[in-house]
Structure 1
Amino acid sequence: MGEIITSESNHVVLSPTSRIRDAAPARAIPVPSADPKSSLLMEYVQVLRRHWMAILSCAVAGCVVALALSLLQRPLYRTRASVDIEGLNGDFMNMRAVARTDGSTAEPNEVKQQTEIKLLQSDTLIDSTIQSLLAQGESVTPTNSDVLQRTAQRLHVPGHSQLRFEDVVRDTSKRVKVKPLGMTRLVELSCESTRPDIAARFCNQMIREFETEDIETRAEEAQKTSAWLTRQLADVKAKAEESQRKLQAAVGGNGLMLSQETSSTGEERLRELQEELVKAQADRMQREANIAVAHTAAIDSLPGVQDSPTYRQYETRLAELRGKLAEIVPPLTEQNPKVIHLRSQIQEAEEGLAASRSSSTSRESSELTAAQHRENLLRAAYNAQLATVSTDLQKAAQVSLLRRELESEQQLYQTMLQRAKEAGFASAMQGSTVRIVDPARPSLNPASPNRTADGAAGFALAGVLGAGMFLYRDRTRRVFRLPGETQALLQVQELGVIPHATRTTVAGTRPSYGLVPSLRTADTAMPQVGEAVALTRWEDRSSITAEAYRSTGFSLLLADAQKKSKVYAVSSASDGEGKTTVVSNLGVALSRTRLRILLIDGDLRKPRLHASFGMRMDFGLRNLLRGEIDVTEAAPGSLYRQTPIHNLSIIPAGGGSEDSVELLHSPNVEKLLNRLRTEFDIILVDTPPMLHMADARVLAVRCDGGILVVRAHETDVDQAQAARDIFDSDGIPIVGTILNSFTPTREGLRDYYKSYERYQGDEDGSKVAAA
């Protein structure tokens, strides 16, 4: 019986037991995501799931706008034609030799194909196509298969009137596109026009004009080449005859012919003289060197002196005499006859040696003179032979040049004569290089605007923009959305989560996730006094709303189990967050615990609590605070009114126009609350919003604690934190918060209450089986 139950609203409560006051209040502890990126992604997914209907509406609106815009556009029909542009066979009839230009052999295939594409897109070709079509006239009946376009023309919608033939043709010329088809020679030509027949005609006529222009251009070039070659033949022939005359004059006209053998003999003689001249120059330079050495060095070092036998004989004799003289002197003196005789012999040998040296020097001078004379003679003979050979070579070169010139001009004449004949054949036998693979045919359906693609694009773009707008709004707007966020952001216990009620759950039917309406609010019709509106609602056991209020009431019971009587001020940060509805339903839920519950309408500025139970407001809190009744001496039951719900009483706001602040500062407030504590177990005081009025603060300081009501998707986090700070600054303990009007479907949580529905269905089935 004391087990812990975790409800679908992400807060923890305890099941009712007899030991309520021994239990500790439960707190919802948010579990942080382990992966921030995954958490952010899941947040984005939740935002998209929450606003999927609005995003879908934006996408549908974008699709409608795109279709509307496409209907305002004039439809364009596109036709295509494929052309094979073949290369010219330059070897046929040797046409390559007579063509002045031939890019097909010198350029790569890609360059040639791009060149042909640019030629197809040239203004000259487009202008000639326009002129040809205008000259042909409108040969077919205008056709238009677009129903909307025909309807717009019949209704004379601006911008959809029938255009003139000339205007359509000129407009079509601006929408011509040419592109290659893959790795082939094929080229695709496409045209767009407001009329499909003109688009096809323009495409086909453009190809015919291109083919005609190609043939005419090449024929004209061949004719110009042939005419130019014919004119040049006469000039070449005249030059050949002139060269013949010059050759005859060069050889003298007597048959004198210079042969290669004659030239070779003179050159051989010239080479021999050159070799002899070089040798004579070397001999002369050698002898000049010997003479120069004789003047500067010892004469004994001359080669001629060293090689003379007489010189060697005197030199040997002189050495022997000097050796003998050295042997006897000393001890003999110079006056000794042997010494005197040896010295005379030495003198004779020296004189003979000197005479030999003089003879060698004279001989060297004579030989030098002879070498110089021979060199001069060889130089003169070489110069004479060089002059003769040069004259012969010049004359032979001139004759050879004239011969080659004559041969060249004769060969040129023959070649040009042949090319002139070939050019004439080529100009007469021209073939087309353009072959139409697929001619253009009128299209039945317009290519633009593509309403399907436009609608899809508008749908996608508007959907993306809508999703981005909602993502931005949800990321920048800090409001409470999910259970547990109030505890995580306000650091205050979350007592419960009240789902948003949209329709009633009828007993015996499948319960809905929309839940039942909570209780009567100010905008509902005022029921009769005593009508058990709340009782009727709370008897429906299938109501998830009722279960949520029961769970919230039980959390409130556990919030402070030590006090016997509890007085709570229920408030909100701003208006419209449903605190009066929460107070009414929470009072009903608490009354089922057999506790005495009292609801006080402390919102004297805008009282609505009495309307929830169908009561009049002629007597209430204002009357008690004014002192119309002595709250300390009044009889039990005279200060409040019993509702149709058992154990639930109410004190309406009462009648009067006094200032609410003055009444709330009356000492009767404390007296009234002290008196009511003795008669009730729990007292809930419905107070005005806190941020802009002081009424809630004045009442809350006299209560045991405060309860802050926040509305899902509406209450700003900063405002709620400001209200919490006011409670803290005033020393008012905050018992907890209640998240009101939580809508799981807005968060993409369609199965949020599915476990409850399944459990409730099993319970109903068990009851039926038991019956």
Structure 2
Amino acid sequence: MQFDDFLGVIWKRRVIVALTLVACVLAAGAYAFTQPKRYESTATIAFTPDPKGGQTYVPTDNLAALLSTYAAVAKSRENKDAAAKLLGRPLPGEIETSTGAGSGILDVIGRDTDPQGAADTARTAAQALSNRLANNGLLVPSIVNPAVPSATPIQPRPPLILSVAILLGLIAGVLLALVLERMRRTIETGDEVTEATALPVLGRLPRERSLARSDAQLVWETGDYEVLQESYRALRTNVELLRDGDWSVLQVTSAKPGEGKSTVVANLAIALGQIGVRTVVIDADLRRPRQHDLFGLRNDVGLSTAMTISDTVVQPSPTAYANVRVLTSGPISANAAELLHVRFGRVLRQVKADADIVLIDSPPVLPVSDARVIAPSADATAFVVGAERSQTSAIVSAVDKLRFAHANLIGAIVNFANSQDGEQIAAYGYGPYISPQQNAQPIPAGLGRDNANA
């Protein structure tokens, strides 16, 4: 993974990273501020050679061995019992020791939840050890630093704990983001569609939550869906550029149901009609037809009727939109795949004779074989991908099936695209229409007409 890709994954999963970081910091804060405080106090014992025993110098190795032995004695049960007798009660805290290499210094450390308890533990333990080692003939113990209570706890340390939590939270968040990206099963952006299928992206249609809550799926009735309307215009432009008079029949399909292919077909047809392109929509989804509902048309006769009765000529129905007609599906047939295989081509030839472009709303690829049956009759095929709805494996499988059926795949349409995928119309200021008078800028003083027109 390149560094730019790594940053892209982190940015895309930034919410997961932030939530993981916050969770770690909160957990660390809860631990740091709920744990009992522990205090530490130290008594220092210095050991010097005993002149009475004829010792004036102790080799470093021997001194280190003796100090290790004395450190173990300081923590022994016998020394704790002796310290308790000196204190007059059981030792309140725990005993630890520390030695300085080659220095003859032994630190007796007392730790307790109370500052005075820690000091009493260290003081009596050091005194008991000194009494025990007195007159040993080798080293003379001297308490050079008596234990005193400390006002600063050694544990917990909130600044240190929170600093470590922030570091670990960032690492955990980044790792979780990478794992989720690795385990991710759905496609979210146009770049991912191209990477998985090698198809160019014909258009990105943004997610519109208010539209999802509405029964109407056509975006041209009001100005509430201006960004989505502009996205359909951009899709229309790409289709027109690719078509360039070379073909007239475009099949639109998807891998699975629920990716919005029927809505895309209907809105694209209206967008084409707006520029004078005579457009006919054929609802070839004979199992779950939608076009008659989208355009408010009757569906008692249609494509299935024309294919069932060979001498019947069924004309596409006009709609409320200029230059847009619809051949509805007609009654649902039990042998849809067989009808499409044998007779769809004949009906298509009749329809496209009186149209500039025909849009075929075909069933999804994976559940049934209808889309693959239709593909050879179409001049081109566009593949609709629902962002965050389409599994990568399903998309790849569907595209492979279409290619095996000799479909002329011209590109993919990303539906329900998120705000990070593709261009942002509003971000560039292309919103409601602004009159030339509103948008006019004065010519700077001294700039003549000739220069202004240069």
Query: What secondary structure, in the 3-state scheme, does the structure 1 residue paired with 2:42 have?
Result: strand
Distance change in 2, residues 1:616/1:652 (3 Å): same
Pick closer, same or farther for the CA change 1:572–1:113 going to 2, 3 Å.
Answer: same
Q: Deviations over 1:253-283 (max 9, x none)?
A: xxxxxxxxxxxxxxxxxxxxxxxxxxxxxxx
The one of 223, 228, 243 aligned to 1:560: 243
What is the one-letter code of the residue matched to 1:705? A
d(CA) in 2 for partners of 1:195 and 1:446? 12
Aligned equivalent of 1:497: 203
SS at match of 2:399: helix
Equivalence for 1:640: 317
State whether structure 2 residue 150 is matched by structure 1 residue 441: yes
Aligned counterpart for 1:551 among listed residues 218, 223, 234? 234
| 1:698–1:678 Cα change, 3 Å | same
Cα deviation code 1:511-538 (max 9, x no counterpart): xxxxxx6xx55xx4435xxxx9522356
Take 1:75 and 1:43, find their aligned partners in 2: how far apart are those partners?
A: 45
TM-score (norm 1): 0.49
The residue that corresponds to 2:265 in the other structure is: 583
Q: Verify the 8 A CA contact 2:111 2:121 in the aligned structure 1.
A: no
| Residue 684 (structure 1) shift | 1.4
Measure how far apart 1:65 and its partner are.
4.7
Q: Is 1:107 matched up with 2:60?
A: yes
Distance 2:266 2:223 in 1: 12
Q: Which residues of 2 match residues 72-151 of structure 1 at below 5 A? A: 75-83=36-44, 85=46, 87-88=48-49, 96=51, 98-99=52-53, 102=55, 105-107=58-60, 111=64, 114=68, 117-133=71-87, 135-136=88-89
1:220-231 pair list within 5 angstroms: none
Aligned-residue sequence identity (percent) comes to 20
- 1:669-708 deviation per Cα after TM superposition (whole angstroms, max 9, x unaligned): 3343222213322221222221231111222232222112
The alignment covers a number of residue pairs equal to 440
Paired residues of 1:495 and 1:555 also in contact (CA < 8 A): no
Q: Which residue of 1 aligns with 2:283?
A: 601
Partner of 1:43: 5
Q: What SS does the corresponding residue of 1:192 show, helix, strand or coil?
A: strand
**Cα displacement (A) at 1:51:** 0.4
Question: For 2:288, what is the secondary structure of its paired residue?
Answer: coil
> 8 Å contact 1:75–1:446 — kept in the other structure?
no
CA contact (8 A) 1:497 1:548 kept: yes
Corresponding position: 1:729 with 2:399:
no
Asked if the contact 1:526–1:614 (Cα under 8 Å) also holds between the matched residues in 2, the reply is no
Unmatched 5+ stretches in structure 1: 1-38, 91-95, 137-165, 223-429, 504-516
Q: Deviations over 1:460-519 (max 9, x none)?
A: 445433432331342355765554554555344x2523143246xxxxxxxxxxxxx6xx
Contact 1:204 1:440 in 2 (8 A): no
Is residue 474 from structure 1 mapped to residue 181 from structure 2 by the alignment?
yes
Q: Distance in 1 between matches of 2:431 and 2:101?
A: 66
User: Distance between the aligned counterparts of 1:768 and 1:687, measured in 2?
Assistant: 46
More helix by share: 1
Match of 1:251 in 2: none
Structure 2 counterpart SS, 1:697: helix
Structure 2, unaligned runs of 5 or more: 442-454
Report the AA paired with residue 685 of structure 1.
I
Q: CA contact under 8 A between 2:208 and 2:416: conserved in structure 1?
A: no
Local SS of the residue matching 1:700: helix
CA distance in 1, matches of 2:113, 2:283: 74
Higher RCO (CA < 8 A, seq sep 6+): 1
* TM-superposed deviation, 1:768: 2.6
Matched position secondary structure for 1:692: coil
Per-residue Cα deviation, 1:740-770 (whole angstroms, up to 9, x for no partner): 333353x8xxxx6468623537985966345
Shift of 1:80: 2.4
Find the aligned partners of 1:206 and 1:41 in 2 and give their Cα distance.
58
CA distance in 1, matches of 2:290, 2:111: 70
Shift of 1:77: 1.2
Once the two structures are superposed, residues 557-586 of structure 1 have per-residue CA deviations (whole angstroms, 9 ceiling, x without a partner) of: 2223244x6121111223333323332332
AA paired with 2:240? Answer: L
More strand by share: 2
3-state SS of paired residue (2:325): strand
Q: Which moved more, 1:701-710 or 1:603-612?
A: 603-612
Match of 1:534 among 208, 214, 219: 219
- Please state how far the C-alpha of 1:611 moved relative to its aligned partner: 4.5
Letter in 2 for 1:83: T
Normalised by the length of structure 2, the TM-score is 0.79
Q: CA deviation at 1:108?
A: 6.4
> 1:436 and 1:578 mapped to 2: Cα distance?
81
Does the aligned pair in 2 maintain the 1:82–1:186 contact within 8 Å?
no
Specify which of 336, 348, 361 is matched with residue 660 of structure 1: 336
For 2:18, the equivalent position in structure 1 comes to 56
In structure 2, how many angstroms separate the alpha carbons of the residues matched to 1:119 and 1:663? 97
Question: Which of 414, 427, 441 does residue 757 from structure 1 map onto?
Answer: 427
Distance 1:536 1:769, change over 3 A: same
Alignment match, 1:630? 312
CA distance in 2, matches of 1:83, 1:722: 76
Task: Answer yes or no: is the 8 Å Cα contact 1:63–1:458 preserved in 2.
Answer: yes
* Cα distance in structure 1, aligned partners of 2:101 and 2:149: 19
Which secondary structure does the structure 2 equivalent of 1:607 belong to?
A: coil
